[in-house]
Structure 1
Amino acid sequence: MFIDRFIRYIKFEKRYSAHTVSAYQSDLDQFISFLNNPDNLTPAPNPEITHPSQITHHLVRNWMVELMNRKIIARSVNRKIATLRKYFKFLLQECIIEVNPASKITTPKIPKNLPVVVEDVKLSQLLDDSDVFSSDFKGVRDKLVIEMLFGTGMRLSELLGVKDTDVNLYEGTIKVLGKRNKERIIPVNSELKILIAEYQQLKKKQDFSGNNSLTLIVTDKGANAYPKLIYLIVQKYLSYISTQNKKSPHVLRHTFATSLLNRGADLNAIKELLGHANLSATQIYTHNSVERLKSIYKQAHPKA
């Protein structure tokens, strides 16, 4: 099905992040698994599907319906269909197929949910509490993960990609490689600068048995940090201050943006800090700000 060829293309030519490549691979594997199950194909294809040119608009739509029947959320369904569109577009460019069977698929609407955030005051208190984080390498590393996500608003994949050489403590900046391989420079506050320096000194003293990872954040054994590790760290510490179900690295990104907006930061500046391609993606945070104003109004105005 030329999937390996497509994966090499997005990995080496498009230079997508490892996280994005993994998601594309997973989506395509699921689609192929669906095609390989005769019960899913009505009517059953004759002959058996062995080439992408045999995949029709109806088969793609059947897969989308099957995903929705399994209660997969609309955002995930849309992402999987977007993967197919990208895959078939590549096959068109390579003259492997003549028609993109996913081009006319109408995907489900995504409900507009407000970004989930935690109270920034509680989060600041957590980070300032000397009893929460231990002073050994693991404790300082965990604190740095929370501080960087909350203090810079970077994405999980961006955090994992930051190298020691991307940190400029003299200038007080971190260079980040974002979506579409777009580099941006993020300023860091004085407390984060001190914490990074402390962590780097501890890291130099660790015996990692030959592991020579170039990334800033590493595992207890000195290997490259991975998404699950970051999730576990975030979930552990957010559980101290929040009872909400969602406790993910992206919650800290949302909290970063919402905190800046609530304190008067310009929306365009927030857009640049977050690495958004357009302002519409950043404007979702204005809804949280409006909700906050409504709450203040109801509490303070005698006619509310």
Structure 2
Amino acid sequence: MVSYFLQHIQYEKRLSHHTITAYEGDLKQFSLFLHFQYELKEPEKADFQMIRSWIVSMVEEKIENRSINRKIATLRSYFNFLLRHKVITNDPMLKIKALKTDKTLPKYIEEKPMENLLDDIEFSNDFVGLRDKLVLELLYGTGMRLAELIGLKISDLNLYNNTLTVLGKRNKHRIIPINKSLVEAIKNYLKTREDITQDTTNQFLIITDNGTQAYPMFIQRLVKKYLSLVTSLEQRSPHVLRHTFATHLLNRGADLNAIKDLLGHSSLAATQVYTHNSIEKLKKVFQQAHPKA
């Protein structure tokens, strides 16, 4: 049933490749645990005690609570799938609770380093340079997810209206406005893109040096390479640019609901985490500037 579940989240739920890989890895680990501890080959037959034992074993192995909670979430989705398809009659996850975790604020890059990266650092005027800068401009200028960037097609661009359309989680489309400088960057890139690939069937906007569709590791390496020039943050990923986009908008007074829509969050609660960054920044300003601080 695991393979059916993975097909379900890929083709019906339309989850990202990264998420599907994580789910698959979690379920493989769970299946191995059941096999060696209980000689059980079918994970759908696991009960509450078996699941609890797996969680306890991970705690004893000093695995971070946040990672364990992600695996718990995987099992919750899996057994919910089994329940809806009447493979099981009782959900063994009902009594399983997530472990307590320390709240961590989203990591982001300050405005000045981002300005240095996009305005001061020289990018070559060939295909590679124009593409690399465009990737950074798109991630920081729109807040889109890695999977959304990779899936972005030329037909999703509306350069006349200065907008683009991305396909987000749960197969939902959203329109994101883009500024004029980003529009120009896209136009310049598209001219050189034609020289790299003659494959008219490949309509994905961002392509590799060989003219094929970009893939997660390719973008991750690209982003890390350039962010390393302006920040010492341990995390230098595409998602950090998404956090940076949201935090900078909020710091400059953008409405939280508008940021929610731009990010494609399903609820305001997911967006409110960025308000904590703004509060922390206000505290620092207060401490530095107020005579009684």
State whether residues 53 and 98 of structure 1, in contact with CA within 8 Å, keep that contact through their aligned partners in structure 2: no
TM-score (normalizing by structure 1): 0.91
State whether residues 156 and 165 of structure 2, in contact with CA within 8 Å, keep that contact through their aligned partners in structure 1: yes
2:75 to 67, 81, 84: 84
Question: How many angstroms does 1:52 deviate by?
Answer: 3.9
SS at match of 1:213: coil
Match of 2:18 in 1: 19
State whether residues 212 and 222 of structure 1, in contact with CA within 8 Å, keep that contact through their aligned partners in structure 2: no
- Cα root mean square deviation, aligned: 1.7
1:113-192 paired onto structure 2 within 5 Å: 113-131=104-122, 133-192=123-182
Structure 2 gaps, min length 5: none
1:83-122 paired onto structure 2 within 5 Å: 83-122=74-113
Percent of residue pairs identical = 52
Q: Report which stretch shifted further, 63-72 or 241-250.
A: 63-72
Question: How many angstroms does 1:23 deviate by?
Answer: 2.1
Match of 1:298 in 2: 287
Task: Report the number of matched residues.
Answer: 293
1:55-94 paired onto structure 2 within 5 Å: 55-94=46-85
Q: Within 2, Cα distance between the matches of 1:126 and 1:61?
A: 48
Question: How many angstroms does 1:110 deviate by?
Answer: 2.6
Q: Within 2, Cα distance between the matches of 1:249 and 1:202?
A: 24
Match of 1:263 in 2: 252
Q: Within 1, Cα distance between the matches of 2:81 and 2:237?
A: 33
Q: Within 1, Cα distance between the matches of 2:65 and 2:151?
A: 29
TM-score (normalizing by structure 2): 0.94
Structure 1 gaps, min length 5: none
Question: How many angstroms does 1:145 deviate by?
Answer: 1.1
Q: Within 1, Cα distance between the matches of 2:12 and 2:280?
A: 43
State whether residues 173 and 186 of structure 1, in contact with CA within 8 Å, keep that contact through their aligned partners in structure 2: yes
Residues 277 and 207 from structure 1, CA distance in 2 versus in 1: closer, same or farther, beyond 3 angstroms? Answer: closer
- Give the aligned residue type for 2:291: P
Residues 110 and 215 from structure 1, CA distance in 2 versus in 1: closer, same or farther, beyond 3 angstroms? Answer: farther
State whether residues 109 and 231 of structure 2, in contact with CA within 8 Å, keep that contact through their aligned partners in structure 1: yes
State whether residues 160 and 226 of structure 1, in contact with CA within 8 Å, keep that contact through their aligned partners in structure 2: yes
Residues 238 and 127 from structure 1, CA distance in 2 versus in 1: closer, same or farther, beyond 3 angstroms? Answer: same
What are the superposed Cα offsets for residues 146-165 of structure 1, whole Å, 9 maximum, x if unpaired?
11111001111111111111
Q: Within 1, Cα distance between the matches of 2:272 and 2:13?
A: 28
Q: Within 2, Cα distance between the matches of 1:262 and 1:295?
A: 13
Question: How many angstroms does 1:143 deviate by?
Answer: 0.8
Q: Within 1, Cα distance between the matches of 2:225 and 2:54?
A: 36
SS at match of 1:185: strand
